[in-house]
Amino acid sequence: MGNKSSLLLREEEISEIQNETGFTPNQIERLYSRFTSLDRGDCGSLSREDFLRIPELAINPLGDRIVHAFFQDSSDDRVNFRQFMRVLAHFRPIKKNRENTLNSRDEKLKFAFKMYDLDDDGRISRDELLAILHMMVGANISEEQLTSIAERTIMEADQDGDQMISFEEFCKALERTDVEQKMSIRFLN
């Protein structure tokens, strides 16, 4: 029995998380329940392995990159509930008159950029783009086609001629894309 009952959220914690992320108290409680069910060690934090037990991440070709995003701001190899909620907030749909900074267009673009910037140097190289394309399509497209796609993408997005895509160039390339919609998940109501 005693299933995680020692790790209940206090009202003030719920309120702080709500203010920080924009999730409703009901959503926070339900996501907390999901978090604790993944926390096999009952220690109040998740490891990379805990995340990879999530079926949707396990089958996602970018699952490793998504899991990596949860650990960006963590100084160790575990993520607490607050850190977990901050990352999830990037995927919260934007509501009119209630835009939270974590799910703004700019923050969603920063998050997406980090998915491609494998070495965290602030630029996306041809090799990084190629690596991501390999993750997404695997062996379904020939190496020549993938290379062509990566090179064409760099050529179209690179405005300063350095053969890389900066965050500013990334934003410019996606200015007509509905990032807010594409990077939103309907969370529990």
Beta strands 123-124; 79-80: pairing state:
unpaired
Same domain, 37 and 68: yes
How many CB atoms neighbour CB 37 within 10 A? 12
Beta strands 45-46; 79-80: pairing state:
antiparallel
Same domain, 114 and 162: yes
Give domain status of residue 188, yes or no: no
The last residue of a domain, from among 40, 58, 89: 89
Tell me which residue range forms the domain holding 162. Answer: 104-182
pLDDT tens for the chain, 189 residues: list them: 344 434 578 899 999 999 988 899 999 999 999 899 888 877 889 998 888 888 888 888 888 888 888 887 666 789 999 999 988 888 887 765 455 577 888 888 998 999 999 999 999 999 999 999 999 887 788 999 999 999 999 999 999 999 999 999 999 999 999 887 788 776 655
Same domain, 178 and 108: yes
The last residue of a domain, from among 29, 61, 89: 89
- How many separate domains does the chain show? 2
Closest of 25, 20, 182 to residue 89, by C-alpha: 20
